[in-house]
Amino acid sequence: MDKKSLTAVARQQLKLAAAATSGRSSQTIYGGHQRSLRQTVVGLSAGEVMAEHDSPGEATLLVLSGKLALISGEDSWKGSTGDMLVIPAARHSVEALEDVAFLLTVAVPK
């Protein structure tokens, strides 16, 4: 059994993002490339964008703190603390509307 505080990890990633020139930071807290399931806490400073990219498989994001926009083509969904968004199986980007930390969960078929 492994236990992690998502609140503490989110706080740490936001602090690291604020200090990074890219304005973002992340830490995989479960899984990785050797597993089907991967969970990563991402911190983005206000105004920063994760550039458009393909979805590697089924994925969701859970906003741990702050606000963001998930953008796919002409569609956009806003999320704030406590919201879970299903990431479309299409190219998409994420924009931090304010400092935001979220849990990204991805299931990659083997």
| pLDDT at residue 58, as a whole number | 92
- Domain that residue 93 falls in: 6-107
Q: What pLDDT is recorded for position 109?
A: 74
How confident is residue 57, by pLDDT bands cut at 50, 70 and 90?
Answer: confident
Which pTM does this prediction carry? 0.93
How many structural domains is the chain composed of?
Answer: 1
Domain of residue 82, CATH code: 2.60.120.10
Instruction: With respect to residue 28, please indicate whether it lies within any of the assigned structural domains.
Output: yes
Task: Give the per-residue pLDDT at 33.
Answer: 75
User: 46 is written with which tokens?
Assistant: 């206000």
Tell me, yes or no, whether 31 lies in a domain. Answer: yes
Is 30 a member of any domain?
Answer: yes
Mean pLDDT within 19-38: 91
Tokens of 104: 């990204």
Average pLDDT over residues 79-100: 96
Q: Is residue 1 part of a domain?
A: no
pLDDT at residue 64 in the model: 98
